[in-house]
Amino acid sequence: MRRDDSGQGPIVTGFAGRGFRVRDDVFPDGLLLSPVRALAWRDAPGIDGLTVAALGDLLDGEPRPEFLLLGTGGGLRQPPRSFVRDLEARGIGVEAMDSRAAARAWGVLRAEERWIVAALLPL
């Protein structure tokens, strides 16, 4: 049995090594998600080096995302305060959790049709 995720956009369907599976694609180095696309996050920094610029154009869509779901890797780590302040200045909140939990939360929140984005660091 396979969950029907049509209409929800890209959904993380599993894990592969330190990476993420979205349908038949594997993203081993990290993953950026919007309601309409999944992109490899090839140059994902460590959590301590995280900046808004490292997210590329993830935040540029319309409508503006409610918040960024941040997967911090194999365990929960707090992002740099400057990163959080920069996002809050744009009117975007940050919810940080380990990347496995963030991947699961992404599916739940997209099923509710929440307009969010996610940045998942490798496990």
- Residue 3 has what pLDDT? 46
Tens digits of per-residue pLDDT, 66-102?
Answer: 999 999 999 999 999 999 999 999 999 999 999 999 9
Q: Give the mean model confidence (pLDDT) for residues 47-65.
A: 95
Asked if residue 7 belongs to a domain, the reply is no
Asked if residue 100 belongs to a domain, the reply is yes
Asked if residue 3 belongs to a domain, the reply is no
Tens digits of per-residue pLDDT, 5-54?
Answer: 455 799 999 999 999 999 999 999 999 999 999 999 999 999 999 999 99
Asked if residue 70 belongs to a domain, the reply is yes
Q: Which two structure tokens, joined as six digits, stand for 95?
A: 């919810």
- Residue 7 has what pLDDT? 52
Asked if residue 19 belongs to a domain, the reply is yes
Other beta carbons within 10 Å of 94: 17
**Structural domain span for residue 43:** 12-120
Contact yes or no for 43/122 (Cβ under 8 A)? no
Asked if residue 6 belongs to a domain, the reply is no
Asked if residue 87 belongs to a domain, the reply is yes
Asked if residue 2 belongs to a domain, the reply is no
| 6, β-bridge pairs | none
3-state class (DSSP) for residue 74:
coil
Tens digits of per-residue pLDDT, 93-121?
Answer: 999 999 999 999 999 999 999 999 999 99
Query: Measured between alpha carbons, how far is residue 106 from residues 13, 31, 63, 77, 81 in Å?
Result: 11, 12, 18, 18, 23
- The pairs formed by 20-26 with CB atoms below 8 angstroms and a separation of 24 or more are 20/99, 20/103, 20/120
Number of domains in the chain: 1
CATH number of the domain encompassing residue 20: 3.40.1230.10
